[in-house]
Amino acid sequence: MITDQFNRPLHDLRISVTDRCNFRCQYCMPAEIFGPDFPFLSKNEVLSFEEIERLAKLFADLGVKKIRLTGGEPLLRRGLPELIEKLTRIEGITDMGLTTNGLLLSRLAEDLYDAGLRRLNISLDALDDNIFKKLNGRGVSSREILAGIDKACEMGFEVKVNMVVQRGVNDQEIVPMAAYFREKGISLRFIEFMDVGNSNGWNMEKVITKKEMYEILSSHFELEPVDAAYFGEVAKRYRFKESNAEVGFITSVSESFCSSCTRARISADGKLYTCLFASHGTDLRAFLRDRSSDETIKTKITSIWSKRADRYSDQRNNLQTPKKKIEMSYIGG
């Protein structure tokens, strides 16, 4: 296991398999930026499955145990179950997950399960159809996503639902979402609205903090704290009393967790990023395609991680000028 300057181990790898999405949500792909003429990556620019598999094996050699496939929307990547089969066979990888907006899940859940995937994080920011359609910008009904969630649960997936909460946008959905998924026995994660990328219109006034959300929920439900399951777990978790269902809070704004971050990210075109709020990445695709040896690539990865000093969420309030950051749709969540 390699560690960085603050003794944070590299344990968790997020791999973006495409920069494309079938939503134009306000959070990471606003329509005014990602319109029909937006220049997405070409096929040759995107890592092949073989290249992704090779990188995953090298990261596993360096101590990575967890892989999560992200996007964009990963279910848009043709042949994705084939990649999942490859990755689940890698020695040392003990946890394999995928983050999706769920729109294609009803159709693809069986293939994903047969390929060996068992864990899904599904994004859903509202139950109310009017709110959800406004957020996704495509007129997609929340019922379509809920149908995908039901299908995934029927197949036997471990499902977590992620809700990004914005003041004045969908904060009225906090209690209905909690009640719905408590009844379903599905874990729900409330995510503070973060300033990822440069185009989602973030400002602090739109942030509903974990403290505020907890107080809202506590007026309707009895919640019991749950201990962290592992070092680097980002969600502060609570269990509904007399229920197996949980809620969690991801508090990147109000209670940063930089000190325990163990995540690296690979963009769809093969750049390595050591922080969700990074400005620049390191091109690993070039090493893959110029026939560099495995040891050369591992040495490069080790060098990058060992020099890592990212602490953006710790430093956010002290920055004199805004930092330009890579877009979330490109780097993955």
Separation of CA 230 from chain center: 18
The answer to whether 264 is a known ligand-binding residue is: yes
The answer to whether 72 is a known ligand-binding residue is: yes
What is the pLDDT at residue 232?
Answer: 81
What is the pLDDT at residue 35?
Answer: 46
The owner of tokens 């990963």 is: 74
Helix (H, G, I), strand (E, B) or coil at 290: coil
| C-beta contacts of 33-42 below 8 A and 24+ residues apart | 33/199, 34/329, 41/268, 41/269
The answer to whether 312 is a known ligand-binding residue is: no
The answer to whether 273 is a known ligand-binding residue is: no
Output the CA torsion 86→90→94→100 (10° steps): -30
Q: What is the DSSP letter of 323?
A: P
Per-residue pLDDT of the chain (333 residues; tens, 9 = 90+): 899 999 999 999 999 999 888 766 555 555 544 444 445 688 899 999 999 999 999 999 999 999 999 988 999 999 999 999 999 999 999 999 999 999 999 999 999 999 999 999 999 999 999 999 999 888 999 999 999 999 999 999 999 999 999 999 999 999 999 999 999 999 999 999 987 655 556 678 899 999 999 999 999 999 999 998 888 888 999 999 878 899 999 998 888 888 899 999 999 999 999 998 888 899 999 999 999 999 999 999 999 999 999 887 877 766 656 667 677 767 776
The owner of tokens 């185009």 is: 199
State whether the Cα torsion 60-66-70-75 is positive or negative.
Answer: positive
The answer to whether 194 is a known ligand-binding residue is: yes
The answer to whether 330 is a known ligand-binding residue is: no
Q: Phi-psi category of 242—alpha, beta or left, where left has phi over 0 and alpha has psi -120 to 50?
A: left
The answer to whether 184 is a known ligand-binding residue is: no
The answer to whether 21 is a known ligand-binding residue is: yes
What lies within 8 Å, CB to CB, of 270 at 6+ separation is: 47, 51, 55, 283, 284, 285, 286, 288
The answer to whether 27 is a known ligand-binding residue is: yes
The answer to whether 153 is a known ligand-binding residue is: no
d(CA 321, CA 327): 18
The owner of tokens 């920055």 is: 319
Tell me, which fold does domain 12-331 have in CATH?
TIM Barrel (3.20.20)
The answer to whether 308 is a known ligand-binding residue is: no
- Kindly report the length of the chain: 333
The pTM for the full model equals: 0.91
